[in-house]
């Protein structure tokens, strides 16, 4: 799974070049981002794509020394299930 990084999203394309999964985030303050949407296409569901996207986002936020406010339900559940990432939470 090859991630494509943009300023406010990380996503994956399918074989035809269409967006197949993504996590979007927005600047909340100078040092914090809100994760507001996670999408995984039906073709990728059940394969861990959402978790891999959130893991990539967490790594990116940590590298940039940013805090995170999970807003979408998937991000809230992912951070609850990954307490090792709780230092990122604002």
Greatest distance between any 2 Cα atoms in the chain: 38
pLDDT for the residue 1: 82
The CATH number of domain 4-88 is 3.40.630.30:
yes
Q: What is the pLDDT of residues 43-72, one digit of tens each?
A: 999 999 999 999 999 999 999 999 999 999
Q: Would you kindly state where each structural domain of the chain is located, as residue ranges?
A: 4-88
pLDDT for the residue 81: 97
Q: How many CB atoms lie within 10 A of CB 28?
A: 17
Cβ within 8 Å of residue 67, ≥6 positions away: 31, 32, 33, 61, 88, 89, 90
pLDDT for the residue 45: 94
């Amino acid at each position: 799974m090859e991630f494509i990084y943009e300023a406010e999203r990380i996503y994956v394309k399918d074989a035809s070049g269409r967006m197949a999964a993504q996590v979007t985030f927005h600047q909340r303050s100078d040092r914090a981002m809100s994760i507001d949407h996670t999408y995984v296409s039906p073709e990728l569901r059940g394969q861990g794509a959402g978790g891999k996207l959130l893991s990539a986002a967490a790594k990116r936020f940590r590298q940039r020394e940013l805090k995170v406010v999970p807003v979408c339900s998937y991000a809230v559940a992912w951070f609850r299930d990954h307490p090792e990432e709780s230092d990122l939470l604002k």
